[in-house]
Amino acid sequence: MVVILGIESTAHTFGVGIVQDGKVVANVKDTYTTESGGIIPVDAAKHHREKGKEIYEKALSDSGIDETEIDAIAFSQGPGLPPCLREGLKFAKELASKLKKPLVPVNHCIAHLEIGRITGSNDPVMLYTSGANTQVIAYSSGKYRVFGETLDLGVGNFIDTFARYLGLGFPGGPKIQKLAEQSKNYVELPYTVKGMDIALSGILTNLKQKIESRKYSAEELSYSVQETVFSMLVEVAERALAYTDKKEILLAGGVACNPRLKEMCKKMCDERLKKTEMFVPDNSLLVDNGAMIAYAGEILFGAGIKTPYNKIEDLDIKPRQRTDDVEVNWK
Ligand code: ATP
Ligand code: FE2
């Protein structure tokens, strides 16, 4: 039996998850939110510092596992906001020293992708849509290769900024989803796909002008944003499927919680001549969470990637680490 505890702290969420032999047995988190405006990194870090212990204890009691049974502690090493990453690292180091157990550093983006395995997906094209990232990825010879990505903003950050323009707080995604469901009136927005890449900042400027003109309702703009931007995502994902000749698509990251994105993706799969299957983990595993860190941590731990508790001093955060920089030596 292998028990891995995972700690997530890269941005808005502090989460602790526990995975036992590939099964999620606890996934507790708390997210820093705002009434209006975006994330203030030092405030998010303060949130993590204050909530850490309580979340950890709840995860243990949910799982029924005693902390002495933990084999290793996985933590999100990067990318992310430095003050938030530092809180997670500190928590992880203290726990490793106390329990005398090794640390497993995990790349946050790779955890978003690896948790997809829990759905039974085997060799997919991955559409990773989260706050800071928007990428179409597939695994090939030792690395997660990025086939296409946003040329400017991540789609989650784009939606959050649009929500902020409407006077809504963070996170904006779920609020925009609700508004979008109340309209069917499409207002034309720029559509920017370049090969397998997309660009979003022009759409944001256009939206700002439309909001300021007061000619459109928040509902119709939200609806139009989802229809336009999700179509762009589905288009690049389909192109990557055709290019790689793969038969599976896996959705990853917080924006994939959106039912309209899932619906559009599913439709694309059903309409392809080549049989294509869509996989998407439960929403609780899509937005930042500790279980995905524990899950990826278990895979890395199994491949011998760990730092013993008496050698953790030099371990540091990696705020800018890219998905395709990571050597995947566990597959
Ligand atoms: P990254 O993984 O790139 O570092 P992140 O960790 O901030 O970014 P996640 O936690 O995976 O990203 O996702 C958070 C994002 O998902 C936020 O931008 C949020 O608005 C968006 N989101 C959450 N739910 C929905 C939804 N129902 N519809 C659209 N977007 C959503
Ligand atoms: Fe994330």
Q: How far is the CA of 72 from the centre of ligand 2 (A)?
A: 22
Q: How far is the CA of 253 from the centre of ligand 2 (A)?
A: 6
User: What is the percentage of the chain residues whose pLDDT exceeds 90?
Assistant: 96
User: What is the percentage of the chain residues whose pLDDT exceeds 70?
Assistant: 100
Q: How far is the CA of 130 from the centre of ligand 1 (A)?
A: 4
Indicate whether residue 108 lines ligand 1 (CB < 6 A): yes
pTM passes above 0.75: yes
pLDDT in tens, 113-131: 999 999 999 999 999 999 9
CB 207 within 8 A of CB 225: yes
Per-residue pLDDT, averaged over 80-87, amounts to 98
> Which domains does the chain carry?
3-113+285-325 (3.30.420.40), 123-282 (3.30.420.40)
The count of C-alpha atoms lying within 13 angstroms of the C-alpha of 192, restricted to the half-sphere facing its C-beta, is 17
Residues contacting 30, CB < 8 A, separation 6+: 13, 14, 15, 47, 51, 55
Reference 321, options 46, 100, 108; nearest CA is 108
pLDDT in tens, 252-268: 999 999 999 999 999 99
Q: Are strands 125-129 and 134-140 parallel, antiparallel or unpaired?
A: antiparallel
- Is-cis flag, bond preceding 102, omega within 30? no
Indicate whether residue 6 lines ligand 1 (CB < 6 A): no
Residues with CB under 5 A from ligand 2 (ion): 130, 288
Residue 227, token pair as written in the block: 């229809």
Q: How far apart are CA 53 and CA 265, in angstroms?
A: 39
The DSSP letter of residue 111 is: H
Q: How far is the CA of 200 from the centre of ligand 2 (A)?
A: 19
Indicate whether residue 154 lines ligand 1 (CB < 6 A): yes
pLDDT in tens, 175-227: 999 999 999 999 999 999 999 999 999 999 999 999 999 999 999 999 999 99
User: Does 139 have pLDDT greater than 90?
Assistant: yes
- Amino acid 36: pLDDT: 85
Q: How far apart are CA 133 and CA 152, in angstroms?
A: 10
Q: How confident is the model at residue 27 (pLDDT cuts 50, 70, 90)?
A: very high
